Structure 1
Amino acid sequence: MNLTIWGAAKQVTRSMHLLEINNYKILIDCGLDYEKGKNLTHNSQFPFSPSDIDLVVLTHAHIDHSGNLPTLIKEGYTGQILCTAATAELAQILLSDSVNLFLGNNNNVKKKKRFKGKQFQETTEKAPLYLHKHVLDTIDRFVTIPFQKPFQINSNIVLELYPTGHLLGAAAAHFTVQDNGATKTIAFTGDIGRKQTPILVDPVALPKTDFLVSESTYGGKLHTNQQNIEDFLIDSIQKNCIDQPGRLIIPAFSVGRTQSLVYILNKIFSKKLLKPIPVFVDSPLANLATDIHRKYKHILNDEVQEFYRTHGDKFEFENLSYVKQLKESKEIANHFEPCIIISSAGMLEGGRIQDHLYRNIQNVYATILFIGYCAEGTLGHRLLRGDNTVRLKGKEMSVFAKITKTDLFSGHADHNGLLEYIRLIDGLPKQVFLVHGEPIGMEALKKDIESFGCQVNIAHKGNVFIL
Structure 2
Amino acid sequence: MNLTIHGAARQVTGSMHLLEVGTYKILIDCGLDYEKDRSIQSNEDFPFDPASIDVVVLTHAHIDHSGNIPTLVRLGYEGQILCTPPTADLTELLLLDSVSIFTNKAEKSRKHKGKGKFGTNLQPLYLQKHVMDAMDRFVTIGFNKPFRITGDIELTFVPVGHLLGAGAAVFKINDHGEEKTIAFTGDIGRKNYPVLDDPQVLPAVDFLVTESTYGGRMHTKDKTVQDTLIEIIDKCCVKEQGRLIIPAFSIGRTQSLVYSLNKIFSSGLLPPVKVFVDSPMATRATEIFRKHHHLVNAEAQDFYKQKGDEFEFDNLTYVETLQDSRQVSNYYEPCIIISSAGMLEGGRIQDHLFYNIQNFYCTILFIGYCAKGTLGYRLLRGDSIVHIKDRDLAVYATIKQTDVLSAHGDHDDLMNNVRSQDKVKLKHTFLVHGEDSSMQALAESLGNEGYKVTIPEKGVSYTL
TM-score category by the smaller chain?
over 0.9
Corresponding residue number in structure 2 for 1:394:
390
Deviation at 1:424, TM superposition (A): 1.2
Corresponding residue number in structure 1 for 2:267:
271
| Pairing of 1:39-438 with structure 2 (within 5 A) | 39-105=39-105, 106-108=107-109, 110-111=112-113, 125-427=121-423, 429-438=426-435
Gaps of 5+ in 1: 114-121
Gaps of 5+ in 2: none
Question: Alignment partner of 1:6: what SS?
Answer: strand
Question: Alignment partner of 2:14: what SS?
Answer: coil
Deviation at 1:447, TM superposition (A): 1.3
Q: Residue 39 of structure 1 contacts residue 107 of structure 1 at CA under 8 Å; is this kept in 2? A: no
Deviation at 1:38, TM superposition (A): 7.7
Deviation at 1:315, TM superposition (A): 0.1
> Counterpart amino acid of 1:347?
M
Corresponding residue number in structure 2 for 1:446:
443
> Counterpart amino acid of 2:95?
L
Report the identity percentage. Answer: 59
> Is the alpha carbon distance of 1:107 and 1:25 closer, same or farther for their aligned partners in structure 2, counting shifts above 3 Å?
farther
> Counterpart amino acid of 1:21?
V
The 1-side partners of 2:101 and 2:201 are apart by 37
> Is the alpha carbon distance of 1:111 and 1:244 closer, same or farther for their aligned partners in structure 2, counting shifts above 3 Å?
closer
The 2-side partners of 1:238 and 1:21 are apart by 56
Deviation at 1:429, TM superposition (A): 1.8
The 2-side partners of 1:2 and 1:460 are apart by 15
> Counterpart amino acid of 1:369?
L
> Is the alpha carbon distance of 1:365 and 1:424 closer, same or farther for their aligned partners in structure 2, counting shifts above 3 Å?
same
The 2-side partners of 1:64 and 1:126 are apart by 20
Corresponding residue number in structure 1 for 2:453:
456
Q: Residue 251 of structure 1 contacts residue 344 of structure 1 at CA under 8 Å; is this kept in 2? A: yes
Q: Residue 61 of structure 1 contacts residue 87 of structure 1 at CA under 8 Å; is this kept in 2? A: yes
> Is the alpha carbon distance of 1:406 and 1:112 closer, same or farther for their aligned partners in structure 2, counting shifts above 3 Å?
closer
> Is the alpha carbon distance of 1:234 and 1:112 closer, same or farther for their aligned partners in structure 2, counting shifts above 3 Å?
closer
Q: Residue 113 of structure 2 contacts residue 121 of structure 2 at CA under 8 Å; is this kept in 1? A: no
Corresponding residue number in structure 2 for 1:117:
none
The 1-side partners of 2:114 and 2:30 are apart by 37
Q: Paired residues, what number? A: 459
Corresponding residue number in structure 2 for 1:14:
14
The 2-side partners of 1:46 and 1:73 are apart by 12
Tell me whether 442-451 or 76-85 shows the greater mean CA deviation.
442-451
Q: Residue 390 of structure 1 contacts residue 398 of structure 1 at CA under 8 Å; is this kept in 2? A: yes
The CA deviation string for residues 169-211 of structure 1, in whole angstroms up to 9 with x for no partner, is: 0000000000011100001000000111011011111112000
Deviation at 1:111, TM superposition (A): 4.5
The 2-side partners of 1:311 and 1:141 are apart by 39
Corresponding residue number in structure 2 for 1:119:
none
> Counterpart amino acid of 1:419?
M
Deviation at 1:390, TM superposition (A): 0.2
Deviation at 1:39, TM superposition (A): 3.1
Deviation at 1:44, TM superposition (A): 0.9
